[in-house]
Amino acid sequence: AQSVTQLDSQVPVFEEAPVELRCNYSSSVSVYLFWYVQYPNQGLQLLLKYLSGSTLVKSINGFEAEFNKSQTSFHLRKPSVHISDTAEYFCAVSPLSGGSYIPTFGRGTSLIVHP
């Protein structure tokens, strides 16, 4: 079984400031790691994912996340946020083996960007 902990329920930040959204997980097996974003009144959409290889993964809109196996973390960062980044961010993991790949989601972190 897997579990995901997002340590911050809400992160307020000013526009153009850097931000880090924290995610830790626990699992008895190796996992794939995901960040999804949910804008107001929309469903979730994939932001980025780690499957294998380089532990640093990047999205097209400036976010990046680094897989740290020893700390079982997958924190999401952006060096300079925009108003349009205001959204709910969900960390998720799914097992490498077993065939089902059904993800386990965290409780979400609400990123609020102020002008």
Partner 1 sequence: EADIYQTPRYLVIGTGKKITLECSQTMGHDKMYWYQQDPGMELHLIHYSYGVNSTEKGDLSSESTVSRIRTEHFPLTLESARPSHTSQYLCASSEPGPGDTQYFGPGTRLTVL
Q: Would you count residue 32 as binding partner 1 (CB under 8 A)?
A: yes
Q: Is residue 44 within the footprint of partner 1 (CB under 8 A)?
A: yes
User: CA angle, corner 34, sides to 52 and 98, nearest 5?
Assistant: 65
The candidate with the shortest Cα–Cα distance to 98, out of 2, 33, 4, 3, is: 2
Query: Does residue 90 bind partner 1 (CB under 8 A)?
Result: yes
Measured from the CB of residue 36, what is the shortest distance to partner 1 in angstroms?
8
Q: Is position 29 an interface residue for partner 1 (rule: CB under 8 A)?
A: no
Interacting positions 58-87 with partner 1 (CB under 8 A) = none
Assess 14 for contact with partner 1 (CB under 8 A): no
Q: Least CB distance from residue 80 to partner 1, whole Å?
A: 27
